[in-house]
Chains A and B, each alone.
Chain A
Amino acid sequence: MSFSIRKQGDVVVVDVEGQLIVGNRQELKQKVLDELEKGERKFLIDFSQTGYIDSSGLGVLVSLSKKIREQGGELRLANLNDDLKTLFELTKLDTLFQIADTRERALESF
């Protein structure tokens, strides 16, 4: 499980590879907060290579969403598979996040 970060235009794109769970959530949080600290304001987290997410992972996404918004930024999510979509629907977090079907659509939405 790892996270890769790259810039696409003015958007910071984070790929979550493997699981986003209690054991690695802080790593994701710190990486995104570091970019926020540097002045980045547009963030896209891509889940196309993600296995499963637990409640800690969901909690980190909520936390990042709040912190990015506080700084006047935006967070988008993309490429949730059907199982991850169900997880977001069960927790109603699909109502909290802007979720795009593809990375391209997410990038266009900023």
Chain B
Amino acid sequence: MRGEARGGRDGAARRRSTLASTPAQVQRVEENASVPIPGDEALPVEHVRLAIELDIPSDVRYIEDIVAMVTRQCAQLAYAPRQLALNVPVALTEALSNAILYGNGERLDRHVHVRAEVDRERLVVEVSDEGAGFDLESSEIDPTSPENLLREDGRGLFLMRRLMDSVERFDDRGNVIRMTLRRS
């Protein structure tokens, strides 16, 4: 983590960055990260919390870069390879594509807000859109049942639930999905 902005072991170091491979429509990407002091790689990271916060237009081309950012934060805190290669990227991709495609209807004037907090205990990701939301409980279908196996859709929420420890929905600040994964 050498070269990151200095922010104190538990403090927040704010820096701005842009997504290199994303379209020109992006207004800004703001990343808030609590990082160890540069040069402190040997210090214990038990009490370090990394945070990332982004606001993106409703365009699926942003998804891969955001997933890479969050996964990188988890990798810095030694999450298991399986979690880095499967749980985090797939569940986060599902949440983002739901927000972009269904929540905001791919309208570029509507934004998706992402906030991810990672520490040695857990990853908590919130994805908010400007849509009407949906009832998480009534959206339960089993895509593994014989009658659904040949369906092309209907696996997104199922995968989020199977790959994360919890998936919750709130609508106090727009339509918010919160996913939590304990580090293993």
Contacts and interface: CB of A to CB of B under 8 A. Distances in A.
A79 B152 CA distance: 22
Contacts, number: 77
A82 B159 CA distance: 16
Interface residues of B, number: 27
B155 A91 contact: yes
Nearest to B84: A83
B32 interface: no
A54 B93 CA distance: 7
B61 to A, nearest CB: 6
Interface string A26-66: 00000000000000000000000001111110111011001
Nearest to B86: A83
A58 B64 contact: no
Interface string B133-158: 00000000001100001111111101
B150 A90 contact: no
Contact of B155 (A23, A52, A58): A58
Interface string B47-90: 00000000000001101100000000000000000100110011
Contacts of B163: 90
A21 B153 contact: no
Contacts of A54: 90, 93-94, 97, 156, 159
What 7 A-B pairs come out closest when comparing CB atoms?
Answer: A55-B155, A59-B152, A92-B144, A83-B86, A55-B156, A54-B93, A22-B97
9 contacts: A1-B64, A21-B60, A23-B60, A23-B63, A56-B156, A59-B153, A83-B85, A92-B144, A95-B149
